[in-house]
Structure 1
């Protein structure tokens, strides 16, 4: 597996175990997701979608509010991050 695929799997595992995550772990995963999405978008030749930009804003807000989020909100944010990264990976792999 690639590091991107490993990270997607890590996000999904974390989303399924939100009750075991600390606030710091949640924030760190969301921040890594933002960095990964930005990096992948920068490497792609095609213009990014508006959805990616909206998700980046949502992920930043979720990371900053991690201590105030419910377990369901944390799960949703992690799954959204994994979905965007997976979609970008598919698009990136298709460009090669």
Structure 2
């Protein structure tokens, strides 16, 4: 499966799940979010972006949902699924454009 097909499949499943969240159990939501996290990390790497590491990293919020889906409301799960789909779409555009991000450490 090429990159575009994999991205399309992931985004489609996330959006479908967000639209049918009341039919899904917490385990399924957790697995979908974990799939999204791996996909986002792969896209980060492809674009040269750093991985997790800041307190505002959106992946931390997704990880929280994946780890605690049983305790979260359906609205929280829908938000996480839609956010994950949006992150993947956006990152794919960056990767597909050929942009590579290179960060240099700040020297005091």
For 2:21 and 2:58, how far apart are their aligned partners in 1? Answer: 20
Q: By how many angstroms is 1:3 displaced?
A: 1.1
Within the alignment, does 1:8 sit opposite 2:11 as a pair? yes
For 1:88 and 1:9, how far apart are their aligned partners in 2? Answer: 15
Within the alignment, does 1:57 sit opposite 2:60 as a pair? yes
Give the structure with the higher percent helix: 1
Higher relative contact order (CA 8 A, sep 6+): 1
For 1:49 and 1:27, how far apart are their aligned partners in 2? Answer: 20
Q: Deviations over 1:34-58 (max 9, x none)?
A: 111111111113x35999x621000
Within the alignment, does 1:34 sit opposite 2:25 as a pair? no
Q: What number of residue pairs does the alignment pair up?
A: 94
Runs of 4+ in structure 1 deviating by more than 4 angstroms, as ranges, are 48-51
Partner of 2:90 in structure 1?
Answer: 87
Q: CA RMSD in A?
A: 2.1
Partner of 2:103 in structure 1?
Answer: none
Contact 2:29–2:69 at 8 Å: present in 1 too? yes
Unaligned runs of 5+ in 2: 100-108
Unaligned runs of 5+ in 1: none
For 2:79 and 2:89, how far apart are their aligned partners in 1? Answer: 15
* Structure ID, larger Rg: 2
TM-score (norm 1): 0.88
Q: Deviations over 1:26-77 (max 9, x none)?
A: 00011111111111111113x35999x6210000011111001111110000
For 2:5 and 2:13, how far apart are their aligned partners in 1? Answer: 12
